């Protein structure tokens, strides 16, 4: 067998990942993912090892609930066959490998820069000379938007090719938010620095990313967190899902000029994040998740408060949603807008909510469960139209599902007074992969240590890495005026992509 099979959050010696020739590596990974909707690439990356580049591919098998890891060593000046030519979902991973190490591919569709990373191989590539796709025609025009947008959001550049009001093509150029996080994970060697970095990857997915780091670190150090820690993490993840989904519903209403929905959902988010602050001192859960300890144990008093908050939240949330889904003026903007078919979602490797909007059941809580999710027996919510309305419905139903999970958790409180505080030391020569399901979708962190247990590689993949292409394809043939609501209904992360 020329690959190794691991579970989510499992550490293995680096040497146990078999190395093979690039041709075998290519055959293995492209055949594993061929005609297998239950398998997709969660991470494919390279790292430098002396004069060569070590490539590691991680294919998640949702059916078997494990991850297939394989590797190959190549050189920077090699000319390789690209996985993307056979399976387009590898497209951005290969562009990243090309950008970071200068590896060239014979048949990749277009090796465009991904994020203009600080440690890119070719420094002559700068963010101002991005090679946009353009169509030469007197009947068409281009619309450029950004990097600085009209609202209070992160920067990114959108270039539309339009025929009148109709969008023929949208290209999304990212990289403006690049802060060099993966490199900082290696350089800043205090644990508190690393968890702070994890919390800063994407401010709307603080719990998603910080739990991915925490589980990874604990696995790397051979530690298993106790029930009270798992409880806090699971609860925090579901609270984050409720808060962000509700805020997104507000923003979606704003984008179709529905003032009442915008105000009501906007204010409904407040008690949820205020409760998070009551619990941990920060409205967006920064400081709540720590590796090796659980600094804010969940108490009976907090449970009583949260029950009250949810009891007040739920009827208002349901009432507002009922109104939103009966208004012809909102439905006409939501239905059949920003649609993507199942086959398309599958081929580009979409994950999370953006996959579930059209029957692709990608949800780490079910397929690679962790924390208390095995106990919750989570079933993903699936929709079947792939339009803005499907994404609205998913949010509505996932919020109600999360409330039900939280109610279950509140009936199974951990014992009070247990305080875990462990000093953790990472094991040498190890590889760990950690997957969590943030509100947006699958978050993946991976780490490799050297002979002394020091980090030599840290990789982070936000679900937005897969899903930005889904947005670009979803707006084709839409009116350009529908772009804001399509964009918001995906709500992808710029900083999570650009790191």
| Chain residues that interact with other proteins, rule: CB under 8 A | 116-118, 127-128, 147-148, 150-155, 175-180, 183-184, 187-188, 190, 192-193, 196-197, 200-204, 206, 247, 260, 263-264, 266-267, 270, 274-275, 277-284, 286-287, 295, 315-316, 319-320, 323, 493-495, 498
Nearer to other proteins, 51 or 259 (CB): 259
In total, the chain counts a number of residues equal to 499
Of 9, 1, 5, 11, which is closest to residue 448 (Cα–Cα)? 11
Q: How far is the CB of 465 from other proteins (least distance, A)?
A: 16
Nearer to other proteins, 247 or 349 (CB): 247
Torsion-angle region of 281 (φ positive above 0: left; ψ -120 to 50: alpha; else: beta): left
Nearer to other proteins, 287 or 361 (CB): 287
Q: How far is the CB of 166 from other proteins (least distance, A)?
A: 24
Nearer to other proteins, 279 or 334 (CB): 279
Residue 467 to residue 485: CA distance in whole angstroms: 16
Nearer to other proteins, 58 or 201 (CB): 201
Q: How far is the CB of 294 from other proteins (least distance, A)?
A: 11
Residue 443 to residue 124: CA distance in whole angstroms: 31
In angstroms, the first-to-last Cα distance of the chain is 35
Q: How far is the CB of 303 from other proteins (least distance, A)?
A: 14
Residue 4 to residue 15: CA distance in whole angstroms: 11
CB contact set of 459 (below 8 Å; sequence gap of 6+): 43, 45, 182, 444, 445, 446, 447
Nearer to other proteins, 42 or 206 (CB): 206
Q: Is 339 helix (H, G, I), strand (E, B) or coil?
A: coil
**What angle, 0 to 180 degrees and rounded to 10, lies between the N-to-C axes of helices 483-490 and 464-474?**
160
Nearer to other proteins, 2 or 196 (CB): 196
Contact between 468 and 172 (Cβ < 8 Å): yes
Q: How far is the CB of 326 from other proteins (least distance, A)?
A: 8
Nearer to other proteins, 90 or 185 (CB): 185
233 sits in which H/E element: helix 227-255
20 sits in which H/E element: strand 19-20
Nearer to other proteins, 76 or 263 (CB): 263
Nearer to other proteins, 316 or 375 (CB): 316
Nearer to other proteins, 268 or 474 (CB): 268
Q: How far is the CB of 381 from other proteins (least distance, A)?
A: 24
Residue 101 to residue 47: CA distance in whole angstroms: 8
Q: How far is the CB of 71 from other proteins (least distance, A)?
A: 28
Vertex 150: Cα angle to 207 and 345 (nearest 5) = 55
- Spell out where 316-414 has E strands: none
Nearer to other proteins, 97 or 306 (CB): 306
Q: Is 445 helix (H, G, I), strand (E, B) or coil?
A: strand
Q: Is 418 helix (H, G, I), strand (E, B) or coil?
A: coil
Q: How far is the CB of 133 from other proteins (least distance, A)?
A: 21
Six-digit token string for 232? 């806090």
Q: How far is the CB of 189 from other proteins (least distance, A)?
A: 11
Q: How far is the CB of 291 from other proteins (least distance, A)?
A: 12
Q: How far is the CB of 331 from other proteins (least distance, A)?
A: 15
Residue 41 to residue 86: CA distance in whole angstroms: 13
Q: How far is the CB of 323 from other proteins (least distance, A)?
A: 5
CB contact set of 35 (below 8 Å; sequence gap of 6+): none
Q: How far is the CB of 199 from other proteins (least distance, A)?
A: 8
Residue 57 to residue 14: CA distance in whole angstroms: 13
Of 484, 433, 494, 485, which is closest to residue 463 (Cα–Cα)? 494
Nearer to other proteins, 102 or 147 (CB): 147
Of 274, 203, 248, which is closest to residue 399 (Cα–Cα)? 248
Residue 312 to residue 292: CA distance in whole angstroms: 34
Six-digit token string for 419? 């305080």
DSSP 119: T
């Amino acid at each position: 067998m020329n690959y190794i099979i691991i579970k989510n959050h499992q550490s293995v010696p680096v040497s146990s990942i078999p190395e093979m020739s690039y041709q075998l590596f290519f055959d293995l990974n492209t055949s594993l993912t061929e005609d297998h909707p239950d398998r997709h690439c969660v991470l494919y990356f390279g790292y430098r090892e002396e004069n060569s580049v070590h490539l590691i591919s991680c294919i998640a098998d949702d059916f078997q609930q494990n991850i297939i890891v394989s590797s190959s060593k190549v050189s920077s000046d090699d000319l390789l066959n690209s996985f993307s030519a056979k399976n387009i979902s590898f497209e951005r991973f290969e562009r990243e490998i090309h950008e970071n190490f200068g590896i060239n591919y014979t048949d990749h569709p277009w090796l465009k820069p991904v994020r203009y990373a600080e440690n890119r191989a070719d420094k002559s590539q700068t963010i101002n000379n991005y090679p946009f796709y353009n169509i030469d025609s007197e009947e068409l025009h281009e619309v450029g938007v950004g990097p600085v947008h009209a609202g209070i959001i992160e920067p990114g550049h959108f270039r539309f090719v339009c025929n009148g009001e109709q969008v023929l093509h949208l290209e999304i150029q990212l990289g403006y938010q690049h802060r060099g996080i993966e490199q900082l994970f290696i350089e800043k060697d205090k644990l508190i620095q690393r968890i702070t970095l994890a919390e800063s990857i994407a401010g709307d997915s603080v719990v998603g990313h910080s739990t991915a780091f925490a589980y990874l670190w604990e696995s790397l150090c051979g530690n298993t967190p106790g029930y009270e820690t798992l409880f806090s993490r699971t609860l925090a993840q579901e609270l984050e899902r409720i808060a962000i989904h509700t805020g997104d519903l507000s923003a979606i209403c704003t984008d179709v000029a529905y003032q009442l929905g915008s105000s009501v959902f906007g204010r409904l988010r407040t008690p949820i994040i205020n409760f998070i602050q009551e619990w941990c001192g920060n409205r967006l859960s920064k400081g709540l998740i720590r590796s090796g300890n659980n600094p804010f144990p969940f108490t009976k008093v907090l449970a009583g408060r949260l029950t009250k908050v949810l009891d007040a939240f739920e009827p208002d949330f349901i009432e507002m949603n009922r109104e939103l889904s009966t208004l012809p003026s909102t439905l006409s903007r939501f239905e059949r807008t920003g649609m993507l078919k199942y086959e398309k979602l599958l081929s580009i490797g979409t994950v999370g909510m953006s996959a579930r909007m059209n029957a692709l059941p990608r949800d780490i809580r079910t397929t690679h469960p962790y924390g208390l999710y095995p106990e919750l027996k989570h079933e993903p919510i699936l929709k079947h139209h792939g339009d803005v309305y499907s994404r609205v419905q998913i949010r509505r139903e996932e919020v109600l599902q999360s409330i039900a999970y939280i109610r279950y958790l509140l009936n199974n409180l951990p014992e009070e007074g247990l305080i875990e505080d462990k000093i953790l030391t990472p094991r040498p020569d190890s590889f760990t992969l950690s997957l969590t399901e943030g509100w947006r979708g699958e978050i993946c962190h991976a780490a490799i240590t050297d002979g002394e247990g020091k980090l030599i590689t840290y990789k982070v993949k936000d679900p937005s890495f897969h899903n930005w292409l889904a947005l670009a394809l979803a707006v084709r043939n839409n009116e350009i005026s529908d772009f804001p609501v399509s964009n918001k209904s995906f709500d992808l992360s710029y900083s999570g992509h650009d790191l």
